A and B are shown apart, each in its own frame.
Chain A
Amino acid sequence: MSTAAPRTWDEFMEGIWRQNPVFVMALGMCPMLAVTVSAVNALSMGVATAFVLICSCGLVSLMRKMVPKEVRIATYIVIIATFVTVVDYVIQAVSLALYDALGAFIQLIVVNCIILGRAEAHASKNPPWPAMVNAAGMSVGFAIGLLALGVVREILGAGTLFGVSLFGADFQPWVIMLLPPGGFFVLGGWLLLFSWIERRKQRRVASEVAQHA
């Protein structure tokens, strides 16, 4: 038990920080830039992707011993497409306004490279529990990335956060933040911040090593 817990925790944290799908691996950029015009959309997309990612990784992992490698891609895609269809119906049942806001990007979760990437690189080689924990970590990492964009773009582009007005009637919204270029600006800003933090950490480690030498 004492050895299993940290391993599972590592498995979970990997997707959130060290291998964050957005800021480190730069995967899933299509929904990332397209649906993050508001925090609600970003969060919903994160939840929908999480459901598909965790369920499909679980099923892929359960079937990993009986899937011949020649037909594995076809198998994974069918499994992923199935859970995307389920999400599609569930979102329609929950809220049509949300369904319209996310548009074609719900169906496009099928080709989100994070999901096929996880199925191929991790779930097909690990038992169900670690595979699903790893998928959950990746989902949270992806949702954090989506929210990081969605929150900034909604605040600057509409002056609201989760639909609540922040600055009053005098605020002039930066409409460009809601347009595609705004997505690139904000993503660029976040990537810059993360690589700056990473550089600083490396420099500190290097100087500590030099002092000890």
Chain B
Amino acid sequence: MSADITAPQITPTAAMIRTLGLVSTICGLIIVGAYLGTFDAVQANKRLALEREVFKVFPAARSMTAFHALPAGGVAAAGSGEVPAGSVKFYAAYDEAGKLVGVAAEGAAKGYADTVRILFGYVPDCQCVTGFGVVAMRETPGIGDKILTDADFRASLKALDVRLNADMSALANEVRTVKHGTKTKDWEVDAIAGATITSRAVGKAINEAAQVLLPRLVPQLDNVKEKK
């Protein structure tokens, strides 16, 4: 009949706090250690992956340098410093002799499943886009991912016209994706039948990125012509 039969045992507050504190400390040390231990390798990996993508777009390239195209015009080498507000990053690819092969830049647009992020190559000599690679996509296997393999589609992006207009404020002709087999102009992308949405995303990504980047970049091309 005494009270201690029903009285539950109370865990001391101090024990609970102590345990949680100890666990957090140990786990904190492990996480910070792992982060610092892998930091260099992760950064090197990211740089390598990007280089591989750029070299895929420009097979003749042997090295590359990252730049920022500033909103007020002008370019600045992208170093370790902070990114200037409103700038667009691009990568100048150089051949063995250090001459500019082309400029690669990222573009992104909504695809069927998620955003399709691409890297396209711009060649100043022909003022055209000569190819693209995919940075990230989650399109349907066997359908949307045909943008990597479809011959007609890739051929329509071999010499895509992205000339600037007379006052260099925008593209002379907007890049457009048209129905499969109806491409007549140099600035049109030939969509893949059955994968129209993903094809359109590629065209849109190039158009949107080029509209912003090229008016800033083209007047400054002399600054990136030679590898420094």
Residues of A within 8 A of B (CB): 37, 59, 63, 66-71, 74-75, 78-79, 81-83, 85-86, 89-90, 92-93, 95-97, 100, 157-158, 173, 175, 178-179
B residues neighboring A (CB under 8 Å) = 11, 15-16, 19-20, 22-24, 26-27, 30-31, 34-35, 37-38, 41-42, 45-46, 49, 136, 140-143
Chain A residues within an 8 Å CB radius of B34: 85-86, 89-90
Across the interface, B38 reaches (CB within 8 A) one of A67, A89, A100, A179, namely A89
Of B20, B24, B37, B49, the contact of A97 (CB 8 Å cutoff): B49
| Residues on the A chain within 8 Å of B20, using CB | 71, 74-75
Most chain A CB neighbours (cut-off 10 Å) among B19, B20, B49: B19
Q: Are B30 and A95 within 8 A (Cβ)? A: no
Known A68-B11, A86-B30: A93·B142 in contact at CB below 8 Å = no
Given A86-B30, A89-B38, A89-B42, answer yes or no on A96-B49 (Cβ-Cβ < 8 Å): yes
Name A92's contact: one of B22, B30, B45, B140 (CB within 8 Å): B45
B-side contacts of A96, CB under 8 Å:
45-46, 49
Beyond the given A70-B11, A89-B37, could you list 10 further A-B residue pairs with CB under 8 A, ordered by the A residue number? Answer: A59-B26, A68-B19, A75-B19, A82-B30, A83-B30, A92-B38, A92-B42, A93-B41, A95-B45, A175-B140
- Pairs across A and B, CB under 8 Å, 13 listed: A68-B15, A69-B11, A70-B11, A71-B19, A71-B20, A74-B20, A75-B23, A78-B27, A79-B27, A86-B34, A89-B34, A173-B142, A178-B142
A79-B23 in contact (CB<8A): yes
| B143 partner, pick from A63, A79, A85, A175, beta carbons under 8 A | A175
- Dominant secondary structure at the B interface: helix
Bound: A71/B13 CA distance, A: 11
**Bound Cα distance A93, B108 (Å):** 25
**Residue in contact with A93 in the complex, picked from B16, B38, B49, CB distance below 8 Å:** B38
**In the complex, chain A residues whose CB is within 8 Å of the CB of B136:** 100
